[in-house]
């Protein structure tokens, strides 16, 4: 997914402004989620809404960086209509599957969105980034390993 699209370090996504397929601004990168198996960014959250108070999960598949901007392969409405999942909590299997369905992706069975996954799900790392897992334990909730 994201790893295949050329993102190798979660730090390269920090603070970027996110734009949709039509070039419309959606918000800013909130958290970056990396694949436990590859260590490469796979999903992000985008801070949307008034004052960036909401965060929506967005896959990095098909995304590209242009300067300080990140252009994703999904429309603004699709991002804003994404299932609301608490980015600071452990994600259940049903929440993870709901995100994959929403974006029309196939869930990779290697991992899940929970920290400590025996199957190698993504993990957030560093400031504003982390392992897919529960926040407050050195990792933030994220999305499944490469779809």
- Residue 35 belongs to domain with CATH number: 3.90.50.10
Residue 137 lies in a domain: no
Q: What is the number of domains present in the chain?
A: 1
Residue 140 lies in a domain: no
Residue 32 lies in a domain: yes
- Domain span at residue 108 reads 3-131
Three-class DSSP labels, 73-127: CCCHHHHHCCCCCCCCCCCCHHHHHHHHHHCCCCCCCCCCCCCCCCCCCCEECCC
Interatomic CA distance for residues 17 and 14, integer angstroms: 9
pLDDT averaged over 10-residue windows placed end to end, the chain, 147 residues: 64 94 95 80 85 83 94 95 76 79 76 36 41 33 39
Residue 67 lies in a domain: yes
Look up the pTM and report it. Answer: 0.70
């Amino acid at each position: 997914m994201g790893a295949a699209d050329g993102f190798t370090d979660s730090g390269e996504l920090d603070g970027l402004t996110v734009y949709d397929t039509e070039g419309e601004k959606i918000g800013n990168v909130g958290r970056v989620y990396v694949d436990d198996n590859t260590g490469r960014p796979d999903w992000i959250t985008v801070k949307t809404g008034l004052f960036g108070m909401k965060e929506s999960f967005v896959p990095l598949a098909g995304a590209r960086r242009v300067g300080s901007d990140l252009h994703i392969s999904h429309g603004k409405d699709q991002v804003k209509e994404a299932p609301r999942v608490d980015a600071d909590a452990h994600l259940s299997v049903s929440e993870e599957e709901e995100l994959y369905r929403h974006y029309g992706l196939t869930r990779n069975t290697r991992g899940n969105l929970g920290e400590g996954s025996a199957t190698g799900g993504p993990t957030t790392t560093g400031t504003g980034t982390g392992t897919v897992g529960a926040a407050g334990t050195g990792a933030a909730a994220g999305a499944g390993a490469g779809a």
